[in-house]
Amino acid sequence: MNWFEAKETLAREWLPGMMSMVFRIVIAALIVLAGMRLAGMVRSFLKKTFDRMEMDLSLSRFLISLVNAVVYVLVLFMALERLGVPSASIIALLGSAALAVGLSLQSSLSNFAGGILILITRPFTVGDYIAAQGLEGTVQSIGLVYTTLQTGDNKKVTIPNGGLANAVVTNINAYEKRRVDVSVRISCHANLGQAKEILNRIFQDNELILPEEGITVYVDTLADSAVMMGARGWAVTGDHWTAKCRIMESIKEEFDAAGIEIPYHKLDVANQSGSDRVL
């Protein structure tokens, strides 16, 4: 057998296998190209859908990225299988990688899941004033891992979403109106009718109190040395604290002018000489 015959024999033996490999590579490349086109179409469709739903921008971006990653994984899986890589090996590799990542990022994944839950259920949104976990402030941003608050004294507080999603959250300005409740102690000897009239007038004269919601003045508690009076009305949520502060100031001024005593606790202290002093 001369050199040309050996070459021809080798070509006949290797050519079918090489052609088969080239065919598989071409098919795998076509699968990848089709997958990339499909991923682009899915991204465009989801973006338009989420925009119509007015979904939170962070959540919509995450969901689009997640679906995009899933599409690419499926495309890669199909391409590798077409190249002859056993599907069981691919699944085992992906499972091992997912388990390793999950164990190493356990706490971060908890915060991540909490962020997704907050963005989906929307117990609060950016701009809301909330109280949770002993903290309160205005929500500046809701991320996938952390939520940032700005406190009343202008501090930045970052709260992990994992704990926040499982905590009791009070959304203070979720509604347009809030009730303004005040309570004040008056002397047992004071004229209740006069005190109720003054409280009612103070609420009526406050321009931040909504008159259509009504005003209630009542006796709350008969204590040992005082009577607890209460009054309530409604104000726009943004005016709640201003209205309450003005009302409390007016109560002090009006009660003093009317001679209605606001009693304070007295403490009797006996000195060493045996005489008593009242503080």
| Residue bearing the bigger pLDDT, 251 or 97 | 251
DSSP 216: E
Least confident of 64-73, 116-125, 143-152: 64-73
- 189 and 229 inside one domain: yes
Q: How many domains does the chain have?
A: 3
Q: What is the DSSP string of 230-271?
A: EEEEEEEGGGHHHHHHHHHHHHHHHHHHHT--------EEE-
The residue type found at 264 is Y
Asked whether the predicted pLDDT for residue 239 surpasses 90, the reply is yes
Q: Is residue 265 part of a domain?
A: no
Using an 8 Å Cβ cutoff, are 61 and 46 in contact? no
**What's the pTM?**
0.59
Could you tell me the CATH number of the domain that includes residue 70?
1.10.287.1260
Quick one: pLDDT at residue 171?
92
* Mean residue pLDDT across the chain: 81
Report the b/e string of 178-203 with b at 16+ CB within 10 A: bebebebbbbeebeeeebeebbeebb
Q: Show the domain range for 157.
A: 123-171
Average pLDDT over residues 255-277: 69
The residue type found at 110 is S
- 233 and 196 inside one domain: yes
Dump pLDDT digits (tens) for 161-201: 888 888 899 999 889 999 999 999 999 888 999 999 999 99
pLDDT tier, 223 (very low <50, low <70, confident <90, very high otherwise) = confident
Asked whether the predicted pLDDT for residue 204 surpasses 90, the reply is yes
CA dihedral 48, 54, 55, 58 (to 10 degrees): 90
Could you tell me the CATH number of the domain that includes residue 183?
3.30.70.100
Helix (H, G, I), strand (E, B), or coil: what is residue 127? Answer: coil
Using an 8 Å Cβ cutoff, are 164 and 113 in contact? no
- 154 and 226 inside one domain: no
Using an 8 Å Cβ cutoff, are 215 and 235 in contact? no
Count of Cβ atoms closer than 10 Å to residue 22 Cβ: 10
Of 98, 90, 58, 89, the C-alpha closest to 74 is 90
- 54 and 25 inside one domain: yes
Average pLDDT over residues 117-132: 87
Could you tell me the CATH number of the domain that includes residue 135?
2.30.30.60
